Chains A and B, each alone.
Chain A
């Protein structure tokens, strides 16, 4: 039997019933990865590491040890998250040979839960992009149609989960990088509240916006993963001291009395009709299940994208300065002097989009422009937070499309950065306001490409999000 199509919760049950072993699951996943090598969902596979872990877990199961739900489950990890002793490349030429000397806190959390990590996912270089075309190694196509993109930047993660190359993946989301590829590949993607999941050991793109989150097949699996990933980390000053919650307790099975906000700005110009109709159908579904629909407006919400490109690029320009080829990374041997070394290493190590963001970031931070761009964007950010606070006085969650369109063709937007950036227009406000949001599949378009809906909640309202998302997700599974 092929177990790889099941959800984590389903195989966790089978593992406990001893109907399958972790080693069998891991081998099936590894076999799938080999079969679907053309998807380039992974930068590398750590077969030995995974099989050893699987055997260790099987031994514990055979001793009837009570293990966490994630024990023995093969998963993949986006290649910007450090695992000690394995490579962390960020899909960049610059880091192509970098071996992490320490593990991210979330990797330690996953290991404490006996997760079986089988490989690292391809991504847009340094998580900058919306299509995985910016990987220095290869493009990860959409598993539903390989002429189309998988989205990005966690395209490898989304593709892997959709193609059953692991039961879940952990991605990172700075402006939509978990939710948008999840939407385009037809899986569930969660961006937790800023500070809920530790950033320590995750290669930073934009520190104030980055947040790791799970990509899974179901909403319940997403909650299960968040239980493992979340928690205060003393190694990160911005880590939240929010009380540890059990997200598996989110599920009430109904949305009675829940107020769902529909913000008109998320349904305006630029939104694909098919996507729009799919989301409106979800709205009707919730209404039929007893939720109250509230029509709202947030006049400035879409300014978040401009705000995002200022803040994320500024932070990225500074965060990526450490990549100079002195302490690690690829370095040329013919540098004339130190400045030449920096210029050559960085110019040869970084791809075009990364350079573009660094340039934009240093432009908005440079003398004479700082107030007009960076400081202004910080103020707009506050304005947006206030706007969100206002709408959340009138509703519990917002329902929006995740992306304005379904997957676009590979190459279609690669020469127009601005049009590429616009595919994040609905996801970015969430990062700017530090909110949680989840993308859940809600049908396919006429080309058979997945459509995703996004539910946005107040800070630390993940439980509400999971419940509302699950009511739809479970009904979808029943269909």
Chain B
């Protein structure tokens, strides 16, 4: 029997504000335990939350980036449950009137585009961190407690691990472009829970779903989905029922383990936080935020295609904000989109797989200007690039040192052309008899004898002129 997999994701993303969501404590990763805390985020008696404007703006930016409608009136609610990482025993979150609703993310899997609908994006506060001391105790650090977080909830539109990862990559990339979050999975600023169920292929009725937590990398998401869909199918084939439960993914052994079942699932007793007022956001304010939104990958890609780049190249250049920013910066100085794109895609991106970018945009531009002005050949340019990367020297110095300056002197080129013609009469004869492709061989010989320095365009022109005399 064939099965369909139905997946919905809940993605949590920490916002990069200066201060926490409901107090003025620093929002910073990696400080001493409980050193970025105050009565509010420690849940001390009498302390009161005050909402951070920037956090709301950032959440709206996320909503706009993912095509959501922004609610003009939004309400913060308390989600009540006891857990030691939650200082007040409630999390300030949103249920009935979240900031953003009904968006979508367009993903690309195997050359096909697909829309994954978003149910909502809401703003909430993060919990603190539990540190296990290894000797039977747990220590709580509330530095992260109260850090603003957006929760992005998809509709169950995802059908495979590939789609889930493509979704997350697109999501992560787009958020990085907005600048509202570091989106670092390893630091926990991006986290993902997976809701998954299986059903007989084509069936309208959804199966019982499980929720998987503790997915700390895209790879873990990929593996966990494949594991869980297989497990559920096997359970069903064996005649068992799927239990609605929360599972914890153990990446080291590649399995899920039950955390809690639905029977002891929580009753969160949401109700509007009486310490906070409903927030009103005018259309004017929404438009203002929209106008401040940086260009997103989809927009940039269209722009690049407009410059004459291929769809594929434009995709490569918008795979990260770092790359497109770099491309834009170089392009500003060398207005040759194809030249810049080719060089960055073929050279820089290849290098970036191994290490950090070692050539700043302005130095890269200097190199490409030399190529564009025919001062060095493209081949020589690649050699210079390698040396720049290795030595940190600038392009002009290296061209001198390596003697790679392009040969543009007509007399010298002519001499090399005439040599070639006299040395290879057969090729000349071929050309004259109509096999025009024979010129390629002769160009190659001239280039070889000039040690690659001769301006290939000139060589070509002169050869043609001589041969047709």
**A102 partner residues in chain B, CB cutoff 8 A:** 39, 44, 47
**B87 partner residues in chain A, CB cutoff 8 A:** 322, 327
Q: Which residue of B lies closest to A126 (CB)?
A: B45
Q: How many A-B residue pairs have CB under 8 A?
A: 101
Contact partner of A235 among B50, B78, B82, B277, CB < 8 A?
B50
A147 within 8 A of B: no
Given contacts A235-B50, A324-B82, contact A318 B45 (CB under 8 A): no
B269 within 8 A of A: yes
Given contacts A236-B50, A321-B82, A342-B82, contact A101 B44 (CB under 8 A): yes
**A202-B90 in contact (CB<8A):** no
- Comparing A295-303, A363-371, A467-475, the segment that makes contact with chain B is A363-371
Q: How far, in angstroms, from A337 to B404 measured CA to CA in the complex?
A: 73
How close is B170's CB to chain A, nearest CB, in angstroms?
Answer: 36
Q: Which residue of A lies closest to B76 (CB)?
A: A237
B140 within 8 A of A: yes
Contact partner of A82 among B46, B88, B90, B269, CB < 8 A?
B46
Contact partner of B275 among A88, A237, A367, CB < 8 A?
A237
Given contacts A237-B277, A314-B271, contact A327 B44 (CB under 8 A): yes
Q: Which residue of A lies closest to B277 (CB)?
A: A237
How close is A86's CB to chain B, nearest CB, in angstroms?
Answer: 13
B271-305 Cβ-contact flags toward A at 8 Å (1 or 0): 10011110000000000000000000000000000
**A207-B275 in contact (CB<8A):** yes
How close is B74's CB to chain A, nearest CB, in angstroms?
Answer: 14
B444 within 8 A of A: no
A residues contacting the other copy or chain, number (CB 8 A): 45
**B43-A238 in contact (CB<8A):** no
A326-337 Cβ-contact flags toward B at 8 Å (1 or 0): 111000000000
B12-29 Cβ-contact flags toward A at 8 Å (1 or 0): 000000000000000000
Q: Which residue of B lies closest to A202 (CB)?
A: B46
Contact partner of A327 among B43, B50, B78, CB < 8 A?
B43
A266 within 8 A of B: no
Contact partner of B89 among A98, A237, A321, CB < 8 A?
A321
**B267 partner residues in chain A, CB cutoff 8 A:** 366-367
**A327-B48 in contact (CB<8A):** no
DSSP class of B's interface residues: helix, strand, loop or mixed?
loop
**B80-A365 in contact (CB<8A):** yes
Chain B CB within 10 Å — which of A90, A100, A322, A370 has the most? Answer: A322
**B84 partner residues in chain A, CB cutoff 8 A:** 324, 326, 338
B438 within 8 A of A: no
**B46-A200 in contact (CB<8A):** yes
Q: How far, in angstroms, from A367 to B39 measured CA to CA in the complex?
A: 31
B42 within 8 A of A: yes
**B46-A104 in contact (CB<8A):** yes
29 A/B residue pairs, CB under 8 Å, sorted by A: A80-B46, A82-B45, A100-B46, A102-B44, A102-B47, A199-B46, A201-B47, A204-B45, A204-B48, A204-B275, A207-B275, A208-B274, A235-B48, A235-B50, A236-B48, A238-B276, A317-B269, A321-B80, A321-B88, A321-B89, A322-B88, A324-B84, A326-B84, A327-B44, A327-B87, A365-B269, A366-B269, A367-B269, A370-B269
Residues of B within 8 A of A (CB): 39, 42-51, 78, 80, 82, 84, 87-90, 138, 140, 267, 269, 271, 274-277
Known: A98-B45, A237-B50, A315-B274. 14 other contacts (CB 8 A): A95-B45, A100-B46, A101-B39, A102-B39, A200-B47, A234-B50, A237-B48, A237-B49, A237-B275, A238-B274, A238-B276, A314-B271, A318-B269, A365-B269
